[in-house]
Amino acid sequence: MSLIEIRNLSKKFGNNVILDGVDLNINQGEVVAIIGPSGTGKSTLLRCLNLLEKPENGSVSVDGKNYNLTTKSSKEVLALRQETEMVFQQFNLFKHKDALNNVMEGLRVVKKLPKAEARRIAVAELEKVGMSDRLHHYPRHLSGGQQQRVAIARALALKPKLLLMDEPTSALDPELVGEVLLTIKRAAREGNTILLVTHEMDFVRNVANKIIFLENGKIVAEGTPKEIFENPKNERLREFLRNINMLRTADDYVI
Amino acid sequence: MAKLFDVKLVFTQIPELLKYLPTTLYLTAIALVIGLVVGLLIALIRMKKIPVLNQIAIAFVSVMRGTPIIVQLYITYFGIPIALKYINYYYGTHYDINAVPGIVFAMIALGLNQSAFDSETIRAAIQSVDRGQIEAAKSIGMSGFQVLRRVILPQAGSVALLPLGNSLIALIKGTSLAFTCSVVEMTAAGKILAGRNYRYFEAYCTLAIIYWVLTFILERVLALIEKKISIPEQAPETSTTEKVEIPVTQEVAA
């Protein structure tokens, strides 16, 4: 049995089918990357798992506990949200709190930890992402890369069973992408289970254990980085990789 | 000729009128709380578009903003007793309207009037809070109430502070109309005082000074609060004890 088992996840916006019965298993400690053309529901898939979007259908089991994703019970919603944490494209740090308090917030308010303990955990997490020298900086004082590292610390401090990352480097200056990718890589090495949407193909190739190719709300191809990048069987996947210059054979260079 | 304008009296009667300052402040404080609480409720109802309540809220805000405060005070002062008489008559109850002091009517009328204006300020301020931060708060598992208290209100508060301060200043001066509900606050006391010595002009000058000083103090307090809740412009010093650098390039590609 896998740590995370997503079953029959379907989501529509109006008449637009975004996710069409997605099934996905994620094992403990795995880094699963979702790739695919824009508008195919990659972000929506993550957001449904955290119930920031309400799917029409679907369930997820986390470590044996089953959650119905269409639940109306706010107790169940809160319980599921505590199993997963999200890292956003736009960082979404609380701008009226400094780095330390951003990380402490969930520990204090949701986990109800005593202040000293929350602080100890928060400092340790910020240290891991290389931000321990900026505990009292507010988000406005930090660069995009630094903000995203704080956001990753905020998510990891809550010890989620599954860490969701929604294009964590897309809003960053090219120069700052590296430090965030490194932070994610370290989080992966520490054994965190991660579901990641990204366009950083080289990174995915190096860090992910499994890659999902999503198109029109369906998982079209699934495999190890080697299977996906070096020997793509699916025609649509080949086309996608060609378009983003990840599949280079002599024929692809038309002169 | 008797003195046309008694400058000395303007200042010597200040202590006499200050005796009624507590009434003015008490009235202001309660109306402020009613205004903020009801205003927040109206703002939430309107943002969540709760059916029926939403329409009632829209109508309420429109009427409250569209009628003079003095008319509202009269309607409250005369309307509630009439309503109570009806209730007593039809339900056989024996509520005594005379047991309710006039200041209660003034508090309700001023408070509800404030709430209409405050609700619009609060609504605008809440809508200015970044959606992403609300989602982040939800995603770490906060309940709706925790999101409101920990993320939305602190940020909306700093946006709303200045306009709410404006409306508080208007309220302090609005309490001078409470005499319509037979409340003797500072302005009413000034009129009564002047009625004894016919020094009306001096009484109004005294009142002007007191209200202005009051507002001046309030402005200072608001400025202090603004400074306290604002996020510092300057980044704090980076602690140099342990400079943590992330060596980037090699490890990512490895």
Q: Residues with Cβ < 8 Å from B70, sequence gap 6 or more?
A: B177, B180
Per-chain mean pLDDT for chain B: 90
Q: Given a cut of 60, is residue A252 above it in pLDDT? A: no
| A185:B251 CB<8 A | yes
Q: What is the pLDDT of residue B245?
A: 55
Please report the pLDDT score of residue A142 as a whole number: 94
- Test A158 with B238 for CB contact under 8 angstroms: no
Per-residue pLDDT tens over the stretch B34-48:
999 999 999 999 999
pLDDT digits (tens, 9 = 90+) for A57-103: 999 999 999 999 998 898 999 999 999 999 999 999 999 999 999 99
Q: Are B124 and B40 in contact (CB under 8 A)?
A: no
Query: CA distances (Å), A247 to each of A225, A242, B9, in order?
Result: 13, 5, 93
- Of A141, A143, A149, whose CA–CA distance to A165 is shortest? A149
Q: How far apart are the first and last CA of chain A?
A: 50
Taking 60 as the threshold, does the pLDDT of residue B250 lie above it?
A: no
Q: For residue B141, give the nearest of A81, A133, A202 by CB distance.
A: A81
- Domain A4-252 belongs to what architecture? 3-Layer(aba) Sandwich (3.40)
Which residues of chain B are within 8 Å of residue A185 when distances are taken between CB atoms? 251-252
Q: Is B151 on the interface with A (CB under 8 A)?
A: yes
Interacting residues of A253 by C-beta distance below 8 A, sequence separation 6+: none
Compute the distance between CA of residue A67 and CA of residue A242 in angstroms, rounded to an integer: 38
* Domains in chain B: ranges and CATH: 21-183 (1.10.3720.10)
Q: Does B153 touch chain A (CB under 8 A)?
A: no
Q: Which residues contact B245 (CB under 8 A, 6 or more apart)?
A: A130
Q: What are the structure tokens assigned to A240, written together?
A: 């996608």
A96 vs B154: CB contact, 8 Å cut-off? yes
CB B190 within 8 A of CB B58: no
Tens digits of per-residue pLDDT, A128-175?
999 999 999 999 999 999 999 999 999 999 999 999 999 999 999 988
- Give pLDDT, residue B254: 46
Share of chain B above pLDDT 70, in %: 93
- Assess B242–A contact: CB distance below 8 Å, yes or no: yes
pLDDT at A246 over 90: no
Question: Beta-carbon neighbour count of residue B196 at 10 Å?
Answer: 8
Q: Give dist(CA A34, CA A167) in Å, integer.
A: 10
Cβ of residue B156 closer than 8 Å to a chain A Cβ: no
Cα distance between residue A200 and residue A31, in whole Å: 14
Share of chain A above pLDDT 70, in %: 96
Tell me: pLDDT of A254 over 60. no
pLDDT band, residue A1 (cuts 50/70/90): confident
Per the listing, tokens 């209200």 go with B211
User: Is the pLDDT assigned to residue B113 strictly greater than 90?
Assistant: yes
- What is the per-residue pLDDT across B46-101, written as a single tens digit (0 to 9) for each? 999 999 999 999 999 999 999 999 999 999 999 988 988 888 889 988 888 888 88
Using the beta-carbon criterion (under 8 Å), do B252 and A206 form an inter-chain contact? yes
Rounded to 5 degrees, what angle do the CA atoms A133, A139, A143 make? Answer: 75
CB pairs under 8 A between A and B: 109
Continuous H helices in chain A? 42-49, 74-83, 99-109, 115-128, 144-157, 174-189, 201-207, 225, 235-243
Question: A141 to chain B: which residues are within 8 Å by CB?
Answer: 234-236
Q: Cα–Cα distance between A23 and A8 in angstroms, integer?
A: 5
Helix (H) or strand (E) segment spanning residue B168: helix B153-174
Is the Cβ pair B139, A154 closer than 8 Å?
no
Per-residue model confidence as pLDDT tens digits over B119-144 = 999 999 999 999 999 999 999 999 99
Q: Which residues of B touch A106 (CB under 8 A)?
A: 140-142
Where residue B251 falls among pLDDT bands split at 50, 70, 90? low
Highest mean pLDDT among A69-83, A197-211, B22-36: B22-36
**Cβ-contact A135, A98 below 8 angstroms:** yes
**Phi and psi torsions of A177, nearest 5°:** -65, -40
Determine how β-strand A210-215 pairs with β-strand A218-223: antiparallel
**Residues B156-169: what's their mean pLDDT?**
93
Q: Could you report the predicted ipTM of this complex, rounded to two decimals?
A: 0.90
Q: Which residues of A touch B (CB under 8 A)?
A: 50, 52, 74, 78, 81-82, 84-86, 88, 90, 92-96, 105-106, 109-110, 127, 130-138, 140-141, 151, 154-155, 158, 178-179, 181-183, 185, 202-203, 206
| Residues from chain A contacting residue B141 (CB–CB below 8 Å) | 78, 81-82, 106, 110, 158
The mean pLDDT value of chain A amounts to 91
Is pLDDT at B210 greater than 70 in this prediction? yes
B244–A contact, CB cutoff 8 A: yes
